[in-house]
Amino acid sequence: MIRENKLYDELKVGDTTCIKRVCTANDLYIFAHASGNLNPVHLPADSDEDHSEAIAPSMWVGALVSSVLGNILPGAGTLYKSQTFKFLDRVHVGDELTVTVTVRDKAADERVVLDTIITGRGGDRIAEGVAEVLAPTRKVRFDDDRLPQVLVERHRHFDRLLKACEGLEPIPTAVAVPEDKVSLGGALLAARRGIIRPILVGSAKTITAVAKEIAADLTQAEVVDVANHDAAAAATVELARSGKAAAIMKGHMHTSDLLHHVVKRDGGLRANRRLSHVFVMDVPGLDHVLIVSDAAINIAPDLEAKMDITQSAIDVALALGVERPKVGILSAVETVNPQIPSTIDAAVLAKMAERGQIKGGVVDGPLAMDNAMDIEAAKTKGITSLVAGYADILIVPNLEAGNMLAKELAFVAHAEAAGLAVGATVPIILTSRADGEKARLASCAIAALYREWQVAGGARNRTLAEAAE
């Protein structure tokens, strides 16, 4: 909107204007960063989707007056001389405020005195005061949309997943070679949160030494003493085969060394589906979790493998409470091109879903990344689809594309990424040394929710809304 200010001579006693503003959780986070005021009563709880208990700082409320003075009355060029406030009530997230400014008097030297009143939705006064300002000295017209956008990096979706695990029995999890601070600490952290019950498989001497180094208590942990890493991986898989463990977690070893034992024809954990990796990503600014597959196991999957990858990703989304996941099959373009094989695979996968060969989700492709995630991009390309612009799941054409996409989201878009290998008889928690605490917890939470969904035969879908009740 183009705004124009008012000079001293244009102002009249009694001139008035008002704006309305709803207090949001992001307002409080941004104010805390800008002011340095980290008073906990002013900050929404990380794990609480209902942020109404957080109290807005009074100076945030008062700063709304400044937006009226600087933008509308008198407008651009206005400079404060003084401002008084009397705060009569508190503001919480979700409250709608009306900020009213009225010219009370015009003093000498182009000074203007204004009454400033802030009221709540019901008209009750929240704050009142008097502003004295210097009126603008030259005419200015400006566009009030010129500010750069601000993105608050908040990983609220992982908080929901952790909350969804509350009330579940800890899932017995065989941890392969937890012989460093990160892998042992991550497993024990998830145990303290009640998500997993770890069975630590590796060198008991090394595990004990690491636990002492990080001041961790192992008295309640089960330790299976296996000195050799390869043998430890085999023992981890055997715990799952025997039913003593309902999930596997990678510790301080290469993923390929663990999966070698998982996919063995004899003594492995093969199921009726190709093993694949699922990244569950909490992307700041996105209103849902984003699943990317496969970015870690299948290098150049053929059509049959992509069918399994797509079905497994849908199953994970269902386990996380997405009622009917929207799946975008990615390629470089959104039209079928015989010279780009991934577009043909995408079209076939979409048709397979229509015919019930892939179940539980809405599948469309080929889609380019832009029109899979952005509805305006999809409209520009003339794409009519239930998936375009709203994808919950992105199926990539190969590992290279998936790995680059996942890392771009993590290191450029500042997403948190949790990892899980699926397609075996039990979920396999794959974490990276670069993962933060929340990402490690989320990987365990996803495994627990997926295992619960598996045990229920896919018949019960624990929605996140239900879990939050």
In a domain, 431, yes or no: no
According to the model, what pLDDT value does residue 51 have? Answer: 63
Site of tokens 């008991």? 204
Summarize pLDDT for 27-48 with one digit per residue, the tens. 999 999 999 999 999 998 764 4
3-state secondary structure of 442: helix
Size (the chain), residues: 469
pLDDT for 232: 96
Backbone CA torsion sign across 399, 405, 411, 417: negative
DSSP at 92: B
CA gap 444, 197 in Å, rounded: 11
Per-residue CA distances from 256 to 298, 412, 421 (Å): 12, 27, 12
Q: What are the pLDDT digits (tens) for 89-113? A: 999 999 999 999 999 999 999 999 9
pLDDT value, residue 461: 47
User: Any idea what the CATH number is for the domain that residue 68 is in?
Assistant: 3.10.129.10
Query: Which domain-ending residue is among 124, 143, 162?
Result: 143
What residues have CB less than 8 Å from 455, skipping those under 6 apart? Answer: none
Pull the structure tokens for residue 237: 């898989």
Q: Is residue 228 situated within a structural domain?
A: no
| Structural domains counted in the chain | 2
Q: What CA–CA distance (Å, rounded) separates 66 from 433?
A: 47
Residue carrying structure tokens 């208990």:
53
Report the SS3 class of residue 183.
helix
Residue 221 lies inside a defined structural domain of this protein: no
pTM: 0.79
What is the pLDDT at residue 167?
A: 87
Residue 378 lies in a domain: yes
- pLDDT averaged per 10 residues in sequence order, the chain, 469 residues: 91 96 92 93 70 88 96 95 97 95 95 97 94 95 77 79 91 95 92 94 95 90 93 96 95 92 92 94 91 96 97 96 95 95 97 96 96 93 92 97 94 91 94 79 94 76 44
What pLDDT, on the 0 to 100 scale, is given for residue 50?
55
Is 138 found in the same domain as 277? no
Residues spanned by the domain of 388: 272-423
